[in-house]
A = this chain, B = another copy of it.
């Protein structure tokens, strides 16, 4: 089954060329790191991984690349309230709108992705968005839904 040009990095390459950008080694490295993990890494963490692939990469470039990727719609940027941004590669191009949400442990900063009730959530959110847009003359671009709490391990740990 032919899958088009989406083998290896050819796909990203195309995306970049289409926007007039170059898919350079430092940028490649950032994409590699993001594509190999399911965690929500910070810029610093990405930088440390990137240096294993391309030791010449600088932190500035990692920041610049992440900004670019977010702006290109390839990466999500999250704020989980611990003072540093977190980044996540957007994997499924098809159902872009079907994004997941997060449970964030306020003790160990672990992040759990979930998609339960996402349909109901999205339904309610879009209904709310429609209503609020009218009432307040406000054009909603995106929403944030996050749950904060304690993961199992931290609960045990703190119950002592």
Interface residues of A (CB under 8 A from B): 79, 81, 103, 105-106, 112, 114, 116-117, 120-121, 124, 127-129, 131-133, 135-152, 155
Contact = CB atoms under 8 A, between A and B. Distances in A.
A115 to B, nearest CB: 11
B117 A135 contact: no
A136 B106 contact: no
24 contacts: A79-B81, A103-B136, A112-B138, A114-B132, A116-B135, A117-B124, A117-B127, A117-B131, A120-B128, A121-B124, A124-B124, A132-B147, A137-B155, A138-B149, A138-B151, A138-B152, A140-B148, A141-B148, A141-B149, A142-B147, A143-B146, A143-B147, A144-B145, A144-B147
A152 B134 CA distance: 10
A127 to B, nearest CB: 7
A132 B115 CA distance: 10
A148 B143 contact: yes
A78 to B, nearest CB: 11
A34 to B, nearest CB: 22
Contacts of A155: 137, 139
